[in-house]
Amino acid sequence: MQSFTYERAASAEQAAAAVADRPDAKFISGGTNLLDLMKLEIERPAHLVDVSRLPLNRIEETAEGGLRIGAQVRNSDLAADQRVRSRYPMLSQALLAGASGQIRNKASTSGNLLQRTRCPYFYDRNMPCNKREPGAGCAAFQGFNRMHAVLGASEACIAVHPSDMAVAMSGLDARIETISPGGETRTIPIGDFHRLPGAMPHVETVLGHGEMIAAVTLPLPPPGRQVYRKVRDRASYAFALVSVAAIVEKSGDRVQSARIAMGGVAAKPWRATEAERMLAGAAASNGAFTDAAEAALDGAIGHGGNDFKIPLAKRTMRHTLAAAVESA
């Protein structure tokens, strides 16, 4: 691990300023991803600003009837919050499908959003990776790419975002509140928060240097039954091959509205807007779910090892939609 200096931030403003002051500084909270990457010298900050004890660890009701989740709320506390479990069950399910009990006790809400890909070539410093070293090339493109993206990828990078939590938050139209070094704040819809790789896969979010996540706000829970379904190589403690978060509102035997987000398929949580549009007003039938899934994966591109993800994502979506209406 490269040597660094460490300070504990006294306030959100001070933390943002401390990181903004130095291009080689980083925030640290749970550290479960950052320290792992620092041990491998993939991340090499010379200064760490510890934000884990900032008073951003509450989950509060909002005036609009939603919840405001502090950036420092631990994944385990968020998953166990009774309001989240009853009003946003898909978020609890997604959190509980990710990582291990030990890691969820440490990992923060903001850190979960900012965690980096687990692409094996990103982790292997002997292999080229445009995300780790811009311009170096991508070893995954022709390599072992079972875990990689089928949507929104570029020739520069086919890595996926590993979060389960973010997929559920995408389906729930979460908003991310940030604070900048000058104290100014802004709110970013989760769909605009992560960037697709394009030619710059090393730039993963729209955050500026020193801009810190303060909270994630969930709007009023949308009507309909919520289901999070994750498919992975082993039953527990593994990243998604494909996951689907779905909320389906039924009216008689028709779908009133649907919201669908996919994980494990792209560099960001992938909202299936075309499938949602097709399902609004359609019959709540397997035929309609199949058509919607086909539309959601329209334009998907496999790279050999991950070709299976395209049919798997379609089946997982159909299954998840059916589960949501069955229990609605």
Cβ(195)–Cβ(152) below 8 Å: no
Cβ atoms within 10 A of the Cβ of 45, count? Answer: 20
**Min CB(96)–another protein separation in Å:** 5
Residue keyed to tokens 């130095």: 22
Nearest residue (CB) to another protein, 96 versus 156? 96
Residue 179's DSSP bridge partners are: 185, 212
Backbone phi and psi for residue 240, each to the nearest 5 degrees, phi listed first = -70, 140
Stretch that binds another protein, among 2-10, 11-19, 199-207, 281-289 (CB under 8 A): 2-10
Q: What's the angle, vertex CA 308, arms to CA 229 and CA 167, rounded to 5? A: 30
Q: 10 Å Cβ neighbour count for 82?
A: 8
Of the candidate residues 11, 62, 102, 185, the single one contacting another protein (CB under 8 A) = 102
Rounded distance, CA 311 to CA 325, Å? 21
To another protein, the closest distance from the beta carbon of 7 in angstroms equals: 10
For residue 143, give every residue at least 6 positions away whose Cβ sits within 8 Å of its Cβ, in sequence order, or none: 121, 127, 305
Q: Which of 25, 32, 221, 245 binds another protein (CB under 8 A)?
A: 32
Site string for another protein, 73-92 (x = CB under 8 A): ---x--xx-x--xx--x--x
* Subset of 40-69 contacting another protein (CB under 8 A): 48, 50, 52
Name which of 99 and 214 has its Cβ closer to another protein: 99
Quick note: the x/- pattern for another protein over 218-257, rule CB under 8 A, is: -----------------xxx--------------------
Q: Per rule CB under 8 A, is residue 125 in the interface with another protein? A: no
Asked if 195 is part of the footprint of another protein (rule: CB under 8 A), the reply reads no
Nearer to another protein, 20 or 94 (CB): 94
H-helix or E-strand spanning residue 102: helix 101-104
Stretch that binds another protein, among 28-36, 132-140, 214-222, 294-302 (CB under 8 A): 28-36
User: With respect to another protein, which residue has the nearer C-beta, 218 or 288?
Assistant: 218
Stretch that binds another protein, among 56-64, 95-103, 191-199, 266-274 (CB under 8 A): 95-103
Q: CA nearest 267: which of 188, 205, 196, 166?
A: 196
Q: Indicate whether 36 belongs to the interface with another protein (CB under 8 A).
A: yes
Give yes or no for a contact between 33 and 43, defined as CB atoms under 8 angstroms apart. Answer: no
Give φ, ψ of 122 to 5 degrees: -65, -35
Q: Which is nearer to another protein, 82 or 253 (CB)?
A: 82
State the minimum distance, in angstroms, from the CB of residue 77 to another protein.
Answer: 9
Q: Which is nearer to another protein, 40 or 206 (CB)?
A: 40
Sign of the dihedral through C-alpha 207, 208, 209, 211: negative
Quick one: which segment of 93-101, 142-150, 268-276, 286-294 binds another protein (CB under 8 A)?
93-101
* Residue with smaller CB distance to another protein, 126 or 236: 236
Residue 173 three-state SS: coil
Residue 100 is a binding residue for another protein (CB under 8 A): yes
Residue 109 has which token pair?
A: 């809400």
Q: Which residue has the tokens 């995408």?
A: 170
What are the Cα distances from residue 73, in Å, to 206, 251, 272? 22, 36, 28
Three-state DSSP at 29 gives coil
Q: Does 93 bind another protein (CB under 8 A)?
A: yes
Give the integer Cα–Cα distance in Å for 128 and 122: 8
Write out the residues near another protein by the rule CB under 8 A. 1, 3-6, 28, 30-32, 35-36, 39, 48, 50, 52, 76, 79-80, 82, 85-86, 89, 92-93, 96-97, 99-103, 105-106, 235-237
